[in-house]
């Protein structure tokens, strides 16, 4: 019984710590330049490319369509990530042909999440056409806030 309680407490602490934050930070707040992609990461991403409109080139996420991107680093078990999912899907339709929206599951692609220094989820990273990180926000965001960031950073 004690072991179960300790495990529950550890999992709860992990979820609270990993899936937290309402703040935002710009790319200039930290060194967020991703390192080169490994062949292991590239092969994992290649299998997912058809579902996601992105590629990895020289360790950077790029839109397969040559568009700027909003990348959502999230996980299925994260409540704020699940709350953001329908908003993200709606924005994806609204900005179709102008901005690519990509979701990266941090559990499926931990190396990529590590390269982008994802410490809290959901994390939205705004990436230019040439793959440069322009801005990132951490935590749940409303549609109007994301739209304002798109206008400010990707137009």
Mean per-residue pLDDT over the chain, rounded: 75
More confident call, 63 vs 142: 142
Looking at residue 3, its pLDDT comes to 45
8 Å CB contact between 48 and 135: no
According to DSSP, residue 27 is labeled: G
Tokens encoding 124: 């939205």
Question: How many of the other CB atoms lie within 10 Å of CB of 147?
Answer: 14
Q: Show which residues are catalytic.
A: 78, 81
Question: What DSSP state is assigned to residue 131?
Answer: S
Chain center to CA of 19 = 13
Please say whether the beta carbons of 53 and 98 come within 8 A.
no
> What would the two tokens of residue 141 be?
């965001």
DSSP assigned state of 28: G
Band (pLDDT 50/70/90 cuts) for residue 13 is: very low
Measure the CA–CA gap between 98 and 101, rounded to whole angstroms.
Answer: 10
Residues, the chain: 155
Q: Measuring CA to CA, which residue among 2, 30, 16 is closest to residue 80?
A: 16
Asked whether the predicted pLDDT for residue 10 surpasses 70, the reply is no
Q: What is the pLDDT of residues 57-106, one digit of tens each?
A: 766 788 888 899 999 999 999 999 999 999 999 999 999 999 999 999 99
25-48 average pLDDT score? 39
Whole-number pLDDT of residue 58: 67
Mean pLDDT throughout 129-135? Answer: 91
As a whole number of angstroms, the distance between CA 74 and CA 154 comes to 21
**What tokens were used for 96?**
């179709």
Q: Please write the tens of the pLDDT for every residue from 42-56.
A: 334 433 434 557 887
The rounded distance, in Å, linking the Cα atoms of 28 and 142 is: 23
């Amino acid at each position: 019984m004690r072991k179960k309680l300790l495990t529950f407490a550890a999992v709860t602490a992990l979820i609270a710590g990993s899936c937290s934050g309402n703040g935002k930070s710009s790319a200039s707040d930290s060194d967020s330049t991703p390192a080169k992609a490994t062949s292991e990461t590239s092969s994992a991403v290649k299998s997912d490319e058809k579902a996601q409109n992105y590629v990895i080139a020289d360790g950077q996420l790029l839109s397969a369509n040559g568009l700027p991107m909003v990348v959502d680093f999230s996980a299925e078990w994260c409540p704020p990530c699940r709350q953001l999912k329908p908003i993200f899907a709606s924005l994806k339709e609204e900005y179709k042909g102008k901005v690519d929206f990509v979701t990266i599951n941090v559990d499926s692609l931990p190396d990529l999440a590590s390269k982008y220094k994802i410490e809290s989820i959901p994390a939205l990273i705004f990436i230019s056409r040439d793959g440069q990180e322009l801005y990132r926000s951490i935590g749940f965001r409303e549609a109007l806030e994301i739209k304002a960031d798109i206008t400010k950073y990707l137009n």
